[in-house]
Amino acid sequence: MIVFDLRCPDAHIFEVWFASSETFEEQKSNGMIACPICGATEVVKAVMAPRVSPKGGRGETAAPEQMKQALEALAAAQAKALEGSQWVGARFAEEARSMHLGEREHSSIHGQATPAEAKALVEEGIPVAPLPFPVRPPETLN
């Protein structure tokens, strides 16, 4: 069996299963495929993501292991990015704004900001980015 996403002239996208690609072509040329929404029989294959099976018989265990490795790599990248960065805690928005306005020397900082503070910084054109993992304040570390 093979599945195709099909599109009609009205841009409706729908999924249809066929025994083979040849069966699809045969049914299409005979006008046997119709859009379930508008009934149009002029359909074409829509762009769709391929369905790729896991390689080497790894099956269900491959995805969790890959996810774990990706998260570990992301955590390592965050730790590296924070090397030499100063923790400013709840003063993050104030410190970032101060640097942006030239009131303070530019440096790498990280800390905490409320969603409203982060939005205000972005709206002011101040480059900020959320960290993918939480950072514990230095005073709470053993």
User: Which residues are bridge partners to 111 per DSSP?
Assistant: 89
Which pLDDT value is given to residue 54?
A: 62
Which pLDDT value is given to residue 113?
A: 93
Whether the predicted model's global pTM rises above the 0.75 cut? no
Which pLDDT value is given to residue 95?
A: 97
Which pLDDT value is given to residue 126?
A: 94
Residues 88/107, Cβ–Cβ less than 8 Å: no
Which pLDDT value is given to residue 63?
A: 74
Q: What's the rounded Cα separation, in Å, for the pair 53 and 57?
A: 9
Which pLDDT value is given to residue 99?
A: 96
Q: Mind listing the pLDDT tens digit for each residue in 51-70?
A: 666 665 555 566 788 888 88
Q: Which is nearest to 1 in space by CA: 51, 75, 65? A: 51
Q: What's the rounded Cα separation, in Å, for the pair 131 and 128?
A: 10
Q: Which is nearest to 18 in space by CA: 45, 42, 47? A: 45
| Tens place of pLDDT per residue across the chain (142 aa) | 788 889 999 989 888 888 888 989 999 998 889 888 888 899 999 876 666 666 655 555 667 888 888 889 999 999 999 999 999 999 999 999 999 999 999 999 999 999 899 999 999 999 998 888 888 888 887 6
